[in-house]
Each structure stands twice: as structure tokens, then as C-alpha cells.
Amino acid sequence: MWVLRSCKRGRGCRVPSVQQIGACAQGDALVSHTTCNEHRAHQHRHASTSGSTSYPTHLPLNFLQRGAVAVLSAIGAVANPARADLVAALGETTGELALRNMRLRMQSSPTGRRILQDQPRVTDATLEYARTMPEGTFGHAYAMFMGDRNFTAGERPPVRFIDDPELAYVAARAREVHDFWHVLFGCHTNVFGELALKAVEFVQTGMPMTALSVLGAQWRLKPEQRARLLSEYVPWALRAGARSADLMSLYYEEHFQDDLVELRRKWRIMPAPRVPRRLIVDAPAVPVQPLPT
């Protein structure tokens, strides 16, 4: 059993155990908001006195805590891929090298550097702006995608376990533009479509979490779905991910007014193959006009 230990960095602070930190990050009822808030307050004071930088939702982990959160999140995410909080925690605790490589690619691109400098956030205001775009545009397709599913732009879990603030932004950016990728690639939002898009993300980002999601959660599919995923959609994802522009260096918000088909062609996006109706469950499809390969 994980126990609560006294903070060695100062008196009066109680550092949550691995289980409690994980529960706090996941929104479960295993730890009180008071404990989490006290810990954040202490980290803010510690950052101020040490001269280090942080961000409001940051929860530092030691090596053992990081490993435990990664393992517990992996188990939970495989059991329930719809738990975005668990998937997020897994990505944050296993993806530092991939995030650093993503940042390097962004720094080598003029648009990527501008994104790192501006640090735009995808919020409900972004979605409201997309709703003003005419039919046929990327912005309109994004607004329809979100509206059909009753999604809101601000419902993504915050980044917590990444120490470097700029890397934390890169992780947040990847999380927030995920729905743009659904629209551009025409991937479903059920388990089948999410796994297909996760395979694209693995090629593009190298995040271990994306590969683990595909390897583990595929067993939640029916045999026919799993066979289709492995024989058709994973090969498509490998080609699509390698062919498209660097997805992290695209300023999507500046292209809401662009024609969706033309934008796919410009960014070398290969929309996903059509999913047979018998394999589709739980969500409407994203309209897709296939591009020549």
C-alpha cells in the first residue's frame, strides 16, 4: 500500500503518494482537493525560492512515482481507452524524449517556431469562431464534427506531470489539436477510429502512448474489426503519417477559412479508408472526399 510521506523539502507540506497523485490527475475520489491544492501551493513557493519555472497544474514526480503512474495509467487506459485522463497521464510519464523531438522539429520550422512563441490554445472561443466559417471549409467541418458529438474544445485534461513548461505546452498542443486531426484524416471517434488515428500519431510524434494504445486496446475490438484494423487501417496509418506535413508545425487556427479538400491536398493528408457500416458504432462519421494517392 502506498503511504503519504512527509515532504523532505520543507515542513508543513504533505506530498501525495503515487496513488494519490495519479488519482488527483485522473479526477478520482482517492485524494481530496485540499491535499492537491496544498501540494500545488508548496510547489509554487518552492519554484519561487529556487528560481525554477513551472505552470499552474504542474505536479512533479520522482522516478518511482513516475513509473507507478505510468504503469497504473497504462493498465487503466488499455481497459478503458475512452478515459482521456488515463491516456494523458500515460503520455506525459512516458513521452519526454518524443516531446523533445517534436519541439526540435517545431523549432526548425518557421510556423512551428511561431506556434511555440504564440502558444495558441484551442478553447471554446476557437470553436465558436469555427462555427462562423462557411460550408466546405476546414473550420465548418471542425465545428460540425464537434457539434455532432456534443464535444467542447476545453474538455481536454490539463498537463500535469511534465517538468519543462515549454514541453508541457507541446504536450498540451498535441492534445488540443487531436480533434483537428480527426477532421483532416476522416477518422471515427469510436474505438476503431481512435486506434487508427493513434497509429498515425505514432508515426508523426513517436509518443510511446500511441503505440501502446494500438497494441493494447485492439483486443477490445470484435475479431472482424481487429482484422480490418491490422490489415487495412494500420498500413494506411503508416503511409498517411509518413506522407503528411508535420502535424505539430501547422497553425490550424489560421486555416479555418480554407477549403477542406484543398487543405488536405496542401498538407498531403490521406483520408482514412471508408469504414463498412457494420463496423461503425457510437458516433457519426466525418465526411471525407478521398484524395488521389
| Dihedral sign for Cα atoms in the order 116, 153, 98, 288 | negative
Query: What own/partner pairs with CB < 8 Å and gap ≥ 24 does 220-223 have?
Result: 220/81, 220/191, 221/191, 221/192, 221/195
Q: State how far the Cα of 193 lies from the Cα of 7, in Å rounded to an integer.
A: 44
Assigned C-alpha cell, 38: 496544498
Residue 194 annotated as binding site: yes
DSSP string, 252-275: GGGGTTSBHHHHHHHTT--PPPPP
Q: Residues, the chain, total? A: 293
What does the pLDDT read at residue 20?
46
Q: DSSP readout, 33-67?
A: HHHHHHHHHHHHHHHHHHT----TT-----HHHHH
Dihedral, CA of residue 207, residue 59, residue 158 and residue 234, to nearest 10: 20
Q: What tens digit of pLDDT does each residue of 103-130 get?
A: 999 999 999 999 999 999 999 999 999 9
pTM: 0.77
Burial of 47 (0-12, 13-18, 19+ CB in 10 A): middle
pLDDT for the residue numbered 100: 97
182: annotated binding-site residue? yes
Query: Backbone phi, then psi, for 14, in 5-degree steps?
Result: -110, 115
What nine digits make up the cell of 49?
Answer: 525560492
**Contact criterion met (CB below 8 Å) for 270 and 239:** yes
Count Cα atoms within 13 angstroms, Cβ side, for 154. 5
| Alpha-carbon span 71 to 94, nearest angstrom | 10
The per-residue pLDDT for 278 is: 63
Q: Which residues pair with 259 in a beta bridge?
A: 137
Other Cβ atoms less than 10 A from the Cβ of 88: the count is 24
Q: Where do the domains of the chain lie? A: 95-279
What are the residues facing 99 on neighbouring strands? none
pLDDT in tens, the chain (293 residues): 332 233 333 333 333 333 444 444 444 432 333 334 444 444 444 443 333 458 999 999 999 999 999 999 888 877 776 677 888 899 999 999 999 999 999 999 999 999 999 999 999 999 999 999 999 999 999 999 999 999 999 888 899 999 999 999 999 999 999 999 999 999 988 777 888 899 999 999 999 988 888 887 777 778 888 888 889 999 999 999 999 999 999 999 999 999 999 999 999 999 998 876 666 554 444 444 433 33
Give the three cell numbers for residue 172.
498540451
CB atoms within 10 A of CB 56: 8
What pLDDT is attached to residue 35?
35
Phi and psi at residue 187, to the nearest 5°? -90, 140
Question: Which cell numbers in the block locate residue 106?
Answer: 517545431
Q: What is the per-residue pLDDT for 193?
A: 83
pLDDT tens across 205-225, in order? 999 988 888 887 777 778 888
The C-alpha cell 481536454 sits at 156
Q: How far apart, in Å, do the first and last CA atoms of the chain sit?
A: 55
Write out the three cell numbers for 188.
471515427
